[in-house]
Amino acid sequence: MERQTITVDIAPGAYAEQRLRVSQGDIGRPLGVYVTQNGEAMSLSGHVAMLYVAKPDGNYYTTRCTINGSLITWDTGEQETPLAGELQAQIRITKSGVNVGTARFVEFVEQSAMDGYTPSESDIPIFQQLATDAASAAAAAESAEAEAEQIVSTYELIPTRVSTLETNVGTLQTDVETLGTKTDKLEALVIDCGTVSTLPKTVTDASIEDDMVALNSELGTPSAQTGDWTVTTSAGSLTVSGTISGSTTLKLYLMKSR
């Protein structure tokens, strides 16, 4: 069966009533709408199209359509054409949950032998529930599509973010180490021991307190030290013990033991 199609422009102000003609009770009839905007065919790849038909009994029929380029297609369903008359129809087009536009037209259902059919009271709630279920399914599908796109976008950014984080952590670690060295020297008591040629060497200074420890030391050139040195403090003096070969200048950075 050849598909009946019309062309609908969705640009604001471009609405012109277009009609698709079907027979009452027609099921499975192929229909289609070519979508244009300001006269130009739209590429609808990646979009979602939902058909909503307002029937003469005040109920709605809805179904998800198929998209091929700028053509939106569907086949008439059992609850789409049970009543004769003009059916106000529209196809809502969305992408990633965002409304793109609406194609409005008329579905004219010609009277047939089924004329006079009226949905029973038990039928109407079923029709309404079918429409509600279809709308809920469409909304869930659009939400899932949007969520999937967001997840893909997030995962694509992860390698860049991890690389940036590693760089920032490395820089922060270097800054902390540098700050630690500077803080030690800033808070420390600096004692210039002068030239040291023999050990032990005792230096007196009223600022020296008992139980202070040497945080850093600076040796002159050449550095004549051999072996380990020990610095002991008492109130007003310190003593450097150990082994030295030759002579060198020595500066100590002291801090109260914590």
Within 8 A by CB and 6+ apart from 78, the residues are 27
- Identify whether 177 is part of a domain: no
- Identify whether 143 is part of a domain: yes
Give the per-residue pLDDT at 113.
Answer: 58
Q: What is the pLDDT of residues 15-34, one digit of tens each?
A: 667 899 999 988 999 999 99
Q: Where are the beta strands (DSSP E) in 118-256?
A: 189-196, 201-204, 212-219, 225-234, 237-244, 248-256
Q: Tell me how many domains the chain contains.
A: 2
Both 106 and 57 in one domain: the answer is yes
**Range with the lowest mean pLDDT among 2-6, 115-119, 218-222, 245-249?**
115-119
Both 20 and 94 in one domain: the answer is yes
Residue 95 maps to which CATH number?
A: 2.60.40.3350
Both 30 and 126 in one domain: the answer is yes
Q: What is the pLDDT of residues 71-92, one digit of tens each?
A: 999 999 989 998 889 999 999 9
Predicted confidence (pLDDT) at residue 227 exceeds the cutoff of 60: yes
- Identify whether 163 is part of a domain: no
- Identify whether 8 is part of a domain: yes
Domain closes at, from 129, 148, 167: 148
Both 130 and 236 in one domain: the answer is no
Does the reported pTM lie above 0.75? no
Burial class (CB in 10 A: 0-12, 13-18, 19+), 240: buried
Both 194 and 84 in one domain: the answer is no
Q: Is 20 helix (H, G, I), strand (E, B) or coil?
A: strand
- Identify whether 169 is part of a domain: no
- Identify whether 166 is part of a domain: no
Give the per-residue pLDDT at 126.
Answer: 52
Confidence at 121, pLDDT banded by 50, 70, 90: very low
Confidence at 70, pLDDT banded by 50, 70, 90: very high
Spatial distance between the Cα atoms of 104 and 137, rounded to a whole number of angstroms: 22
- Identify whether 95 is part of a domain: yes
Q: What is the pLDDT of residues 128-144, one digit of tens each?
A: 565 577 677 778 878 88
Predicted confidence (pLDDT) at residue 120 exceeds the cutoff of 50: no
- Identify whether 215 is part of a domain: yes
Domain closes at, from 148, 172, 201: 148
Both 122 and 53 in one domain: the answer is yes
Cβ atoms within 10 Å, residue 47 = 16
Both 137 and 195 in one domain: the answer is no
Q: What mean pLDDT do residues 46-69 have?
A: 93
Structure tokens at 217: 């030391």
| Residue-range definition of the domain harbouring residue 82 | 4-148
Both 47 and 140 in one domain: the answer is yes
Both 136 and 26 in one domain: the answer is yes
Domain closes at, from 117, 148, 179: 148
Predicted confidence (pLDDT) at residue 178 exceeds the cutoff of 80: no
